[in-house]
Structure 1
């Protein structure tokens, strides 16, 4: 029917009853009768198939709606990454399309154009993966029949192999810090290399979770830096990460130094707040800590590494010292042993060599023992 005095068209349709109550859908504002009829047909077809594709929803409006709904359940950094992909790439590229009209060819053409322009493979992968995740939600909520991005995501680029220091390099770095700086970062780097803690876990460590008498600390928080600007404390992502960590004598000494400095600086001589912080007690900026790591690394001419590589260095040293992989996994607080093996399996070559040699030796010994105990068989006549 036409709307009086507005020149617009409206449709009204009865839908299947729900809990005994009649349902009526009425929508207006269509420019032509044909447009209203098409939308009404789509509603009836959606009622039959269980999927309702609203042709007035654009990709842009849907993506912003999806972001708003997902914000509460996403980690701050994850949300910031999704929002960046949506506003910087997805909406400019596909936002003008009606949501039901988006096709795989649109996405494939965009991917090809980005690759031809020399865009990074990791960036392209992240953008299209974000679109796929968003459209998966539309399929689950019966707003799309299929996900046009399902098969358009390029292969995930293989992660570059992490750079790890040798024990000599790690020791030289710590010694350089102690001799030329002797500041809070000297102790922070000692704790990171001596425990394998993650960057965010060290920067969020509170004195209330450090138990010096028991030579342990508890990981309760992690620091998330959103766009390296806003710092937020949150719980670790996995249950395995929230765990006790044993402290070596070196790490204990570093924490005792920090404790003494902070007690002396506190007007009431109390030990509270963050273990590693600015003079005003606020968290250290991760980027500043990384800049200092690179500056001090360059002074020694050591291989350039990132903060997370200190954790990898700790793991590689433990493996090189013959610590069983299950113990390394537990120390690093990985959710499963498979994660540890996938990350550090290439470091286990020597262990694998020793394992097969031990297996062969056991079989040879069993053969030798059996041969010695058995009498020779009689020769045939």
Structure 2
């Protein structure tokens, strides 16, 4: 027996004797244990996103014959990273570094959890290399122009007045909040009487039903409603809201099945942001009769010009910035930090930012010279 073989055998013996006593799990069991451990800390929508992303890894394991967590090693992690980047998606080419970075952060968190329950070898998470982004890379370039929004609201006002879908769009346009915030609203949160109409956003985790807000109690506040928005919401409640209960609660946005789902809210935004459905021509000149995105509301996401709810939020925040509203006020109204607004949400050009800085200086100093 060679010296190298003897050394290898000795290393194996030491690892077996003194190494961790791993308790294997199937990939499916590992993911479910991780999700259960995270359930109390995450909003349901975030938990669903975690499950969708980790289910891809379970699929990878099935395709590549990885049967339990003790088989996870540097080679498996490397192969999964390449598979996810180049093969396991619908688009052409490779996934962006931004998408890969976000997903690998989650995957590394998943591996740390498995280490904590002795399902994988210690420090396995350290083998995950997170892509580094260049300055400005990965920042979103999403905006929802005010004239585009006005065209949609005008169409809904004329043809879908005070329907559930109209109410959803009005709430987005009037508050700039996330879909989960709108979904969480109850009738008791809507205050339309008196001189000033407003909405309360509340994080509810007690009782039999939960409607969480992204930043939990920190997300709670009240948001003023304009007279026109308040009128639409009141008419929706009076004429089109389905009167269903939810274990002691009365949701604002309802269907015959109960509280409106996040997925339905997203579907309404994609549906009505297709240019052709509100009377505009298709920017690509497509014939609606032949267009895949016009086959049904579920296919609206296929339209290259339809927008997700985050675009409405971007547009709302950017519009407030263009009006000179302070970051502090926008942060409080829209439940987002000033730092995040500056980096991700304000779609202002450099010229617009420069003008805002000039106007701020003038309003506070009476001059744009800088020094007093």
Name whichever structure is richer in strand by fraction.
1
TM-score norm. by structure 1 comes to 0.66
Return the alpha-carbon distance in structure 2 between the equivalents of residues 41 and 58 of structure 1.
24
Return the alpha-carbon distance in structure 2 between the equivalents of residues 65 and 292 of structure 1.
33
* Mapping of residues 1-381 of structure 1, within 5 Å: 41-42=14-15, 45-46=18-19, 52-54=20-22, 57=24, 60=27, 63-64=30-31, 66-67=33-34, 69-70=36-37, 72-73=39-40, 74=42, 75=44, 76-90=47-61, 92-93=63-64, 95-96=66-67, 99=70, 102-117=72-87, 118=93, 120-121=95-96, 125=101, 128-140=104-116, 144-148=121-125, 150-155=127-132, 158-166=138-146, 168-182=147-161, 183-213=163-193, 215-220=197-202, 233-238=210-215, 239-261=217-239, 273-279=250-256, 281-283=258-260, 285-286=264-265, 288-295=267-274, 298-301=277-280, 304-334=306-336, 336-347=337-348, 349=350, 350-355=352-357, 358=361, 361=367, 363=369
1:53 shift after superposition: 4.5
Does the CA contact (< 8 Å) of 1:277 and 1:283 recur in 2? Answer: yes
* 243-252 or 146-155, which deviates more: 146-155
Does the CA contact (< 8 Å) of 1:204 and 1:274 recur in 2? Answer: yes
> Quick one: structure 1 residues 174 and 277, their matched pair in 2 at CA, closer, same or farther if it must change by over 3 Å?
same
2:202 partner SS: coil
1:289 shift after superposition: 1.9
Return the alpha-carbon distance in structure 2 between the equivalents of residues 203 and 364 of structure 1.
46
Task: Show CA shifts across 1:30-52 (max 9, x none).
Answer: xxxxxxx9998446524xxxxx2
Return the alpha-carbon distance in structure 2 between the equivalents of residues 292 and 105 of structure 1.
43
Does the CA contact (< 8 Å) of 2:143 and 2:312 recur in 1? Answer: no
Return the alpha-carbon distance in structure 2 between the equivalents of residues 40 and 62 of structure 1.
29
1:297 shift after superposition: 6.0
Does the CA contact (< 8 Å) of 1:107 and 1:152 recur in 2? Answer: no
Structure showing greater Rg: 1
2:317 partner SS: helix
Does the CA contact (< 8 Å) of 1:218 and 1:245 recur in 2? Answer: yes
2:39 partner SS: helix
Aligned length in residues: 307
1:240 partner SS: helix
Instruction: Please list every run of at least 4 consecutive aligned residues from structure 1 whose deviation after the TM superposition is greater than 6 angstroms.
Output: 37-40
Task: Show CA shifts across 1:67-96 (max 9, x none).
Answer: 364253343413422442332224544734
Return the alpha-carbon distance in structure 2 between the equivalents of residues 320 and 256 of structure 1.
30
TM-score norm. by structure 2 comes to 0.67
Return the alpha-carbon distance in structure 2 between the equivalents of residues 353 and 341 of structure 1.
15
Does the CA contact (< 8 Å) of 2:269 and 2:307 recur in 1? Answer: no
Return the alpha-carbon distance in structure 2 between the equivalents of residues 244 and 144 of structure 1.
49
